[in-house]
Structure 1
């Protein structure tokens, strides 16, 4: 049995040596070392010490001699070693539970941070829209201010209304003068047309008179010619009679 216990212990040492030199099995090595606590305590590993206590107690119980006191002593030592081995396990479990709670808190915190990031992004988009609206509103205000300044440079409404009234009166006067000029122009056109008609009639009359005068002159000349011819014929006859 002792040889068997030694064989088991040797197998554990061989496994530890095997895993200690496995470069591609880091997770397995770390898990094995945490379970066996081969690197977290000084001296002999707790699991190996517990194994030795158990083997010693088992070997003592298999003896035929009257060794009740030794068995009880080894049993108590084994229980004490179990309690000693269990305490780090409880601490490790507490650490694991704390890590789980911390992970849950971290996940909740991460979700909260993500929610805040999403809310911040939404707020940024809203602020961008508000900024664009503010720019447009400011531009409108600047345009209104420019228009107000232009209006302020203009004369008062009463003065403008007086100027408009004066201009309307002047326009009415000019329209009346224009109407009078139009009537005068129409009258002048009619008078000029009448004058042209009179001149035309006068010219026709002069031409007719000139024609009549020419006809009369021609008739007188013909009469004189006839008279001369008649006078010439009578003298010839008188000369012939003589």
Structure 2
């Protein structure tokens, strides 16, 4: 059965804490939503089509989406993905973040990437277009189970440098965990992006550069690195963030909503 995403109200009141510690996750969502608003960004859930349209409308500063988030190419569905949209005071889309769930109990990131099943609903057609993916790091063989791919990341130029990269990726990971009880969260970043420190600012505990060769339509050819973390590291990162910042205390209404 499809689990509909809420579409109105402040983000923390839209979220349900299904898995994980309610107090920690509730406090984190409240802090993150407040921190985004302090930077002029109001967060809400959007559709995969919203993500695709935002990508196409900002091609001057955003490469085409990886097919992971393309319903036509990648076979992703609303049941296996969600999209966060950040808007400015005028309602314009200025930031995006998305996540997709994979269930790999008998296989691994290495196999799913190399077979192109991770990226395409029709891997044979993708191979015929000379698409390919090779991951050389040994950890790819150990990333199994419920794996969340975190991506679809974009910030409009005038909203870069506002530290949104420390906020939105964490919201995405935390919500994916509490919705799906994920075992791993992974991301693929261009090596130049990793060199700029974005993966570390996003809270990833493990990052390996230059370990992925990817040719994917319509993205093109690129070399990138892999970031990954397990659920216990994810929760520890959220706790560390709340220790460092002045995190708001959960109100009774938000606590109630988060637990249902």
TM-score, structure 1 normalization: 0.17
More helix by share: 1
Higher Cα Rg, which structure: 1
User: Larger RCO: Structure 1 or Structure 2 (Cα < 8 Å, ≥ 6 residues apart)?
Assistant: 2
More strand by share: 2
